[in-house]
Structure 1
Amino acid sequence: MSGERRRVMILAYFYPPLAGGGVHRVLSFTRHLPAHGWDCTVVCAGPDDSWIRDPSLLDRVPAGTEVLRVGGGSGLALLQRLRGARTSATRSSTTIGWLRRAVDWFAFPDSYAGWAARARAVAARRLARGDISVLLSSSPPDSSHLAARSLARRFGLPWVADFRDPWVGLHFRTPPTPWHRARHRAAERAVVAEAAVVLAASHTHERELQALRGRDGRPLARSVVWLPNGYEPANAAASADAESPPRSRDGGAPTASTESRFLLVFTGTLALMDSTFTALEALARFVRARPAARSQLQMVLAGPYESSYAQRVAALGLADLVRLTGSLAHDQARALQRKADVLLLWKPLGVGYRTMVPGKLYEYLDAGRPILALLPSDDEAARMVLDAGGTVVPPGDAAAVERALEAAFGSWLQGGRVPERRPAWLTGHARERLAAELAGTLETIVKGRR
């Protein structure tokens, strides 16, 4: 690293007080890059422009971070507001379903395109003042990459395209027509080809990006770098609020104590998560076969959720066993992970999601608790779970989940809580270390342009 300080401009819709899995990667950049000579300017959404918020995260934004908020939200959020929906910890599965379909047809590359255009204008005014060495865009949404591509061309700056997930319109969604598919494919290829460096959050996605070829048969990307999501080491001196039991979604009284119960925990957003239904079905089967266990266990699904999950809990007669907490402060979610007897992991189903390693997996591993994952056996995240001594069962196989629950519950009955266990390699994935690697990449880009 050179002795002079530099500044990176980051275009990322999700930034505190907005919450959700995508926030923490960019937040970690801004927390740890300054220690390596890189100051940060963030162009992000407004403070109310998502249904998931965690104001406590604002305390983690360094005082020296320049934050340029561009309000208005996404097209999807606007449609929800027009229908009378408000920012909350829950949303209607029916409403969001038809809105997603409308977006697939009429918004390109996603419902954030309008925000990206406004953000591009704000970023351009800031860039005109000078002192920015590198642009970095982080997706989803993929609109942020197209905005950064335009700015990089206009201002002649090097640009890093950070893919937390693959191009959503191609890999996580099904384009409604061949024309839509071709547009998404062309946009993805343009981003990969023009960025000075492309960051991938999983090895699977890294390999897919490296395999892309131009018309001349050469690699499409100039450079692809694997930068995993990583984790912030758990704070042993957690606040009293973080250690308190999770509150109900309406902010009322805390849930019943789980200290004497076998505790199953999932943390994260429940949307497009069909494996949640499999886990609930397995739990229902488990307690039907073992009525005495009903008073000895609890499942906590901690995070914002769509209404279909609460409906399924009620339909299966599990309201006394399953808690849907709604949004929790991040410290509370981490504390709940550490209290779990088994941590539950799954992700959306479909071939396109094979590249996804959920950010929460690194937090789960840091918690040191046993993990039960509903994942394909050849999935990258599944291999990480197995390496840590966890259990992996096929998605959709309620019988296999029931058997895994029986084994874990039986072990708990006989011996109590199992000791914590963390893989030896995990410390290398602390976000402070990953930020140091990113700083080195940024420095190499700047030196390469001299």
Structure 2
Amino acid sequence: MNTHRGPHLLYVAWGFPPCRAGGVYRALATVNRFAERGWRVTVLTAERETFERYTGADPSLEERIDPRVEVVRIPFEWPAMESDRSRWSLFRRAFPRVWRKLRVWRDRLPFPEAGYGPWKRRLTAAATRIHRADPVDLVVATANPNVVFSAAGHLHRRFGVPYVMDYRDAWLLDVFSGGRLHGERSRAARLERRLIGAATEAWFVNDPIRDWHRRLYPGRADAMHTVANGFDPDLAPDPERALTGPPPGRPLRFGYLGTVTPKVPLTEFLAGWRRARELSPAVASATAHIHGYLGYYAQPRPEMLAAIEDAAGDGVSYEGPAGKGEVAKVYAGIDVQLLILAAGTYVTSGKVFEYLATGLPIVSVHDPDNAATDVLRGHPLWFPVASLSPEDVAAALVAAASAAVGATPEQRRAAVEFGARYRRDLQLDPRIDALAASLQAGRT
């Protein structure tokens, strides 16, 4: 039991250290900040084996959990991701397609989310045990998966515990296309409507996603807030290096750090990189380093790895995943950052804030309508592409190479100051203060 004084927060998340998925950094920073602000924090999450077997694990992340935070881990089964055929049933081996259809149907019975629905029973049971052992004052549930919201709704219905819905993406909104993922009368839509209706607050990572939900639920607009991802000061790269620029005479180093998903325009970047090498001696002598996972899971996607390896003769290399503790070291070896993102009006990516923290030049290799554009607008060393054509990508790369060497001290200082405003605690603290005040008001 967590014996620290202060209100008791139950934080519910599927992805938590040592999970290495992108949303884990938001989860880790959130619980640590609540603990720093005097809350007693209990995290309800999946067992370590879940991440070690399926998503890839970063053990260094566990070391960064505040020691005041209690972590409760419960089993999570993911049969659809089981690649060991010896663990398959005879029926699955004989009829794999039929098995998959039946499995999806079965998954959605407890909660309408394939793969994650069956976890609802364990989540709600564990949340109840935690509350009975040490009454919970507030629940923050962070998606995705959206099944985590069921624990918050359960404690609210049974015990009146207030809760916050923290969206890393969205439940009904396709953040890439802007369309709906579920119809208005779908079970998912009905569940979200009920949960939003009872939530104390709902958090979104950017204004476009928040505003979409405000239009969908106008009666709850005041409860919806943007809590941007931000960067973590203790893990941020040293911005002082950006003030001096790269060493004279050394070839420039371009770098990408993050997960390369199938929606990321890797092919378009490589085509633009090749063209830039034809146009600029500075890029021709430069190298480009890709750090991170290729795809969502531990094993690199073969087509992505092949595309990078085919560009080895053009100075492109794949460096593999980087643990959170290695991030500052990675940035220390980069002169120009490559922000290669999927298209989507509602897509920001938490990585943009980490990039901003460095103060280094940033090349945006993504659709100009991407929500990251709103964050980066005004940055003095930002070089967005006009389109994803090879010529436009090349033009941005060439301009960034020139700035990496020739930016003025004033421009470099302004870039560092621009990024400093996105420190993660500056995003979280206003909401933590508001929630603490709300709980206090409820007691008086």
Structure 2 CA distance for partners of 1:294 and 1:224, relative to 1, 3 Å:
closer
Do 2:251 and 2:282's aligned partners in 1 also have CA atoms closer than 8 Å? no
- Alpha-carbon distance between aligned partners in 1 of 2:428 and 2:127, rounded to the nearest angstrom: 23
Deviation at 1:185, TM superposition (A): 2.6
1:422 partnered with 2:415: yes
SS of residue paired to 1:126: helix
- Alpha-carbon distance between aligned partners in 1 of 2:85 and 2:287, rounded to the nearest angstrom: 34
- Name the structure 2 match of 1:134: 138
Do 1:117 and 1:147's aligned partners in 2 also have CA atoms closer than 8 Å? no
Deviation at 1:129, TM superposition (A): 1.5
Do 1:189 and 1:220's aligned partners in 2 also have CA atoms closer than 8 Å? no
TM-score (norm 2): 0.80
- Alpha-carbon distance between aligned partners in 2 of 1:261 and 1:395, rounded to the nearest angstrom: 27
- Name the structure 1 match of 2:225: 225
- Name the structure 2 match of 1:381: 372
Deviation at 1:412, TM superposition (A): 4.9
Bigger relative contact order (CA 8 A; separation at least 6) = 1
- Alpha-carbon distance between aligned partners in 2 of 1:230 and 1:237, rounded to the nearest angstrom: 13
- Name the structure 2 match of 1:89: none
- Alpha-carbon distance between aligned partners in 2 of 1:233 and 1:177, rounded to the nearest angstrom: 36
- Alpha-carbon distance between aligned partners in 1 of 2:5 and 2:67, rounded to the nearest angstrom: 20
Determine what percentage of the aligned residue pairs are the same residue: 21
Deviation at 1:163, TM superposition (A): 1.0
Deviation at 1:402, TM superposition (A): 0.8
Deviation at 1:337, TM superposition (A): 2.4
1:408 partnered with 2:409: no
- Alpha-carbon distance between aligned partners in 1 of 2:202 and 2:118, rounded to the nearest angstrom: 24
- Alpha-carbon distance between aligned partners in 2 of 1:178 and 1:141, rounded to the nearest angstrom: 15
- Alpha-carbon distance between aligned partners in 2 of 1:160 and 1:131, rounded to the nearest angstrom: 17
1:348 partnered with 2:342: yes
Match of 2:316 among 303, 317, 322: 322
1:304 partnered with 2:293: yes
Deviation at 1:9, TM superposition (A): 0.0
Structure 2 CA distance for partners of 1:300 and 1:71, relative to 1, 3 Å:
farther
1:371 partnered with 2:362: yes
Do 2:362 and 2:383's aligned partners in 1 also have CA atoms closer than 8 Å? yes
SS of residue paired to 1:278: helix
Do 2:205 and 2:226's aligned partners in 1 also have CA atoms closer than 8 Å? yes
The CA RMSD measured in Å over matched residues stands at 3.6
Tell me the alpha carbon deviations over residues 215-271 of structure 1, each in whole angstroms, 9 at most, x when there is no partner. xxx514561122111111255898xxxxxxxxxxxxxxxxxxxx9331111111111
Do 1:386 and 1:392's aligned partners in 2 also have CA atoms closer than 8 Å? no
Deviation at 1:446, TM superposition (A): 1.5
1:432 partnered with 2:425: yes
Give the alignment of 1:14-413 within 5 angstroms. Answer: 14-50=15-51, 51-73=55-77, 75=78, 78-82=79-83, 107=108, 108-167=112-171, 170-171=174-175, 182-213=186-217, 219-221=219-221, 223-233=223-233, 260-287=250-277, 289=278, 296-306=285-295, 307=301, 308-315=303-310, 317-318=311-312, 321-349=315-343, 353-389=344-380, 390-394=382-386, 396-412=388-404
Deviation at 1:421, TM superposition (A): 4.5
SS of residue paired to 2:11: strand
- Alpha-carbon distance between aligned partners in 1 of 2:402 and 2:209, rounded to the nearest angstrom: 38
- Alpha-carbon distance between aligned partners in 1 of 2:313 and 2:397, rounded to the nearest angstrom: 18
- Alpha-carbon distance between aligned partners in 2 of 1:169 and 1:429, rounded to the nearest angstrom: 25
Do 1:6 and 1:39's aligned partners in 2 also have CA atoms closer than 8 Å? yes
- Alpha-carbon distance between aligned partners in 1 of 2:284 and 2:328, rounded to the nearest angstrom: 25
Letter in 1 for 2:15: F
Do 1:104 and 1:175's aligned partners in 2 also have CA atoms closer than 8 Å? no
Letter in 2 for 1:405: L
- Alpha-carbon distance between aligned partners in 1 of 2:289 and 2:26, rounded to the nearest angstrom: 25
Tell me the alpha carbon deviations over residues 188-227 of structure 1, each in whole angstroms, 9 at most, x when there is no partner. 32232221111112111222222223xxxx5145611221
- Alpha-carbon distance between aligned partners in 2 of 1:116 and 1:160, rounded to the nearest angstrom: 18
SS of residue paired to 1:68: strand
Do 1:12 and 1:42's aligned partners in 2 also have CA atoms closer than 8 Å? yes
- Structure 2, unmatched stretches of 5+, are 87-99, 239-248, 296-300
Letter in 2 for 1:13: W
Tell me the alpha carbon deviations over residues 257-305 of structure 1, each in whole angstroms, 9 at most, x when there is no partner. xx93311111111113331221111112333x36966872111111111
SS of residue paired to 1:37: coil
- Alpha-carbon distance between aligned partners in 2 of 1:376 and 1:82, rounded to the nearest angstrom: 35
- Structure 1, unmatched stretches of 5+, are 86-98, 239-258
Q: Bigger shift: 339-348 or 52-61?
A: 339-348
- Alpha-carbon distance between aligned partners in 1 of 2:336 and 2:32, rounded to the nearest angstrom: 31
- Name the structure 1 match of 2:246: none
SS of residue paired to 1:449: helix
Q: Bigger shift: 359-368 or 182-191?
A: 182-191
- Alpha-carbon distance between aligned partners in 2 of 1:80 and 1:356, rounded to the nearest angstrom: 26
SS of residue paired to 1:300: strand
TM-score (norm 1): 0.79
Do 1:137 and 1:145's aligned partners in 2 also have CA atoms closer than 8 Å? yes
Q: Bigger shift: 7-16 or 439-448?
A: 439-448
SS of residue paired to 2:50: coil
Deviation at 1:138, TM superposition (A): 0.4
Structure 2 CA distance for partners of 1:103 and 1:402, relative to 1, 3 Å:
farther
Letter in 1 for 2:254: L
- Alpha-carbon distance between aligned partners in 2 of 1:224 and 1:327, rounded to the nearest angstrom: 35
Deviation at 1:153, TM superposition (A): 1.2
Do 1:196 and 1:222's aligned partners in 2 also have CA atoms closer than 8 Å? no
Do 1:40 and 1:66's aligned partners in 2 also have CA atoms closer than 8 Å? yes
Do 2:182 and 2:189's aligned partners in 1 also have CA atoms closer than 8 Å? no
SS of residue paired to 1:328: coil
Deviation at 1:5, TM superposition (A): 0.9
SS of residue paired to 1:128: helix
Do 1:273 and 1:346's aligned partners in 2 also have CA atoms closer than 8 Å? no
Structure 2 CA distance for partners of 1:318 and 1:191, relative to 1, 3 Å:
farther
